[in-house]
Amino acid sequence: MANKFTFYNTLDRKVEEFHSREEGKVGIYTCGPTVYHFAHIGNIRTYIMQDVLIKALEYAGYDVKRVMNITDVGHLSSDADTGEDKMVAGAKREHKTVMEIAKFYTDAFFKDFDAVGNKRPDVVEPATNCIPEFIHMVEVLLEKDYAYVAGGNVYFDTSKLDDYYVFSSSVEKEALEVGVRDDVEEDVNKKNKTDFVLWFTKSKFEDQALKWESPWGVGYPGWHIECSCISMKHLGEYIDIHCGGVDNIFPHHTNEIAQSEAYLGHKWCNYWFHSNHLNDQSGKMSKSKGAILTVSVLQEKGYDPLVYRFFCLQSHYRKPLVFSWENLDNTVTAYNKLVKRVSELKAEGAVDEAVKAEYEGKFLDAVSNDLNTSMAITVLYDALKADTNDATKLALVESFDKVLSLDLIGHAKALADAGSSVDAELEAYINDAIARRAEAKKAKDFATADAIRDELLAKGVEIKDTREGVVWHLV
Ligand SMILES: [Zn+2]
């Protein structure tokens, strides 16, 4: 690769240059949703930033294969194996079966996932498809003495590792140890506080819906095991990049590394990519704080899902992002202006290849510099202002949109079509009304001017006074 591609590797706690194991090819694993409830817009932010990472790598010339799991079994309400099973709780709440819940929320997840311009992973695997693989991995971990059976469950023995807290500095490690100790529901079967369940047979829940035969009795897998198995099934013994949200770092990703490397006997994944939270004004978004704000809800309120994507791209993936309606409204204005600007470009003349290459280079520099998406958008604005012809600008918009996925050309075309589909009669009427209103305003007859504005609005035409004169659009 000619270009240096960098991003923050949580494993080494610094921005690093990326090198794939195999020249030109990247294997990426993404933790998928637990399909017991809707994914809120904060969850979707994580998938947008991963999508940008993947498309930026492709822009840089890599061939990317991405695998994602769907958790439809075994995820308890605390990531540290305590509390209630999320799927069972979801089924109870909605008086449905666990499989009905899984199907419903998987479909809902992908509806929102697609709507914000994300490309589907090459492989999407539900955990319930891979029970034999989970059992095999647990057997090997027992054989290798990394696991033990206690109280009917199989546990991973974290004391067998030299460094269990791979992601953490010594200070963070102390905080995490306190956190684990403070776990309210202590599991007396565990030899060490940080041990985690690989396979449950003695569950606290009499009504666990999905159970399978295993060498340790009828039961179900722990949550962490599925990501290790599903990634190895489709990407082999090594993955280049593992993605997730920052709240996956501990314990989920820590446990994934523990069991994967114990099983394989070598390092498993070189780069860990984590994106930060979306907060609302009251703090971190969660599913437990009443109504869940989803992409579909944004759509119902009249927001284009790609405007939400644009909102996310304007800030850096490693920083928490604050969501507010005001911020989103500002993004709507910015997005519409951008679309309008693109709609005014005429596809005439020849593309200036030298200028195109220059701006593509700047764009690649931005996205390959720790995924600086706001800088990439600045390059887009600069390209639109550049001293070159429209054909070149259009070619650049199309090129950048391979990564940004804002459908700027599609939206610009729709805007132009909407403009040209207004019939001549209506247009004459609008122009006449605008002229009458200007007369009324000139005569300081504001009541008449307002009445004309309302008359237009009643016919579905909204007008706005701008520095360039009166503009109108259909509502
Ligand atoms: Zn995972």
Distance, CA 244 to ligand 1 centroid (Å)?
A: 7
Cα distance between the two ends of the chain: 48
CATH fold of 324-407: Four Helix Bundle (Hemerythrin (Met), subunit A) (1.20.120)
- One pLDDT digit (tens) per residue for the chain, 475 residues: 457 999 999 999 999 999 999 999 999 999 999 998 999 999 999 999 999 999 999 999 999 999 999 999 877 766 767 677 888 888 888 898 888 999 999 999 999 999 999 999 999 999 999 999 999 999 999 999 999 999 989 999 999 999 998 998 776 777 777 666 555 567 889 999 899 999 988 765 566 778 899 999 989 999 999 999 999 999 999 999 999 999 999 999 999 999 999 999 999 999 999 999 999 888 777 776 678 999 999 999 999 999 999 999 999 999 999 999 999 999 999 999 999 999 999 988 899 999 999 999 999 999 999 999 999 999 999 999 999 999 999 999 999 999 999 999 999 999 888 776 667 678 888 888 999 999 998 899 999 999 998 888 887 788 888 766 787 877 7
Distance, CA 196 to ligand 1 centroid (Å)?
A: 14
Residue 235 phi/psi, 5° resolution?
A: -120, 0
Answer whether 117's CB lies under 8 Å from 405's CB: yes
d(CA 282, CA 284): 7
Closest CA to 69 of 229, 261, 249, 200: 229
Secondary element (H or E) of residue 197: strand 196-200
d(CA 330, CA 325): 9
| Cβ neighbours for 252, distance < 8 A, ≥ 6 positions apart | 31, 79, 223, 224, 227, 244
d(CA 356, CA 373): 19
324-407 matches 6-284 in CATH topology: no
Distance, CA 227 to ligand 1 centroid (Å)?
A: 5
DSSP letter string over 104-126?
Answer: HHHHHHHHHHHHTTPPPPSEEEE
Distance, CA 252 to ligand 1 centroid (Å)?
A: 6
| Cβ neighbours for 241, distance < 8 A, ≥ 6 positions apart | 18, 26, 27, 28, 29, 53, 269, 270, 271, 272, 273
What pLDDT is recorded for position 427?
Answer: 80
What is the DSSP-derived secondary structure letter of residue 252? I
Distance, CA 198 to ligand 1 centroid (Å)?
A: 14
| Cβ neighbours for 356, distance < 8 A, ≥ 6 positions apart | 392, 395, 396, 399
Q: Report residues near ion ligand 1: CB below 5 Å.
A: 31, 227
Distance, CA 86 to ligand 1 centroid (Å)?
A: 15
Architecture of domain 6-284: 3-Layer(aba) Sandwich (3.40)
Q: How many CB atoms lie within 10 A of CB 291?
A: 8
Distance, CA 32 to ligand 1 centroid (Å)?
A: 7
pTM of the model: 0.86
Q: Determine the 3-state secondary structure of 284 from DSSP.
A: strand
What are the CA-CA distances from residue 313 to residues 48, 309, 324, 371 (Å)? 8, 6, 15, 10
Distance, CA 253 to ligand 1 centroid (Å)?
A: 6
d(CA 147, CA 262): 10
Distance, CA 127 to ligand 1 centroid (Å)?
A: 11
CA 251, distance to chain mean position in Å, is 20
Distance, CA 190 to ligand 1 centroid (Å)?
A: 22
What pLDDT is recorded for position 388?
Answer: 96
Distance, CA 228 to ligand 1 centroid (Å)?
A: 8
What pLDDT is recorded for position 418?
Answer: 79
CA 142, distance to chain mean position in Å, is 35
Q: Domain residues of the chain, as ranges? A: 6-284, 324-407, 422-474
Give the tokens for residue 371. Answer: 């995924």
What pLDDT is recorded for position 457?
Answer: 86
Answer whether 15's CB lies under 8 Å from 7's CB: yes
| Cβ neighbours for 420, distance < 8 A, ≥ 6 positions apart | none
d(CA 443, CA 218): 86
Distance, CA 54 to ligand 1 centroid (Å)?
A: 18
Distance, CA 242 to ligand 1 centroid (Å)?
A: 9
Placement of tokens 């509390």 in the chain: 83
Answer whether 278's CB lies under 8 Å from 48's CB: no
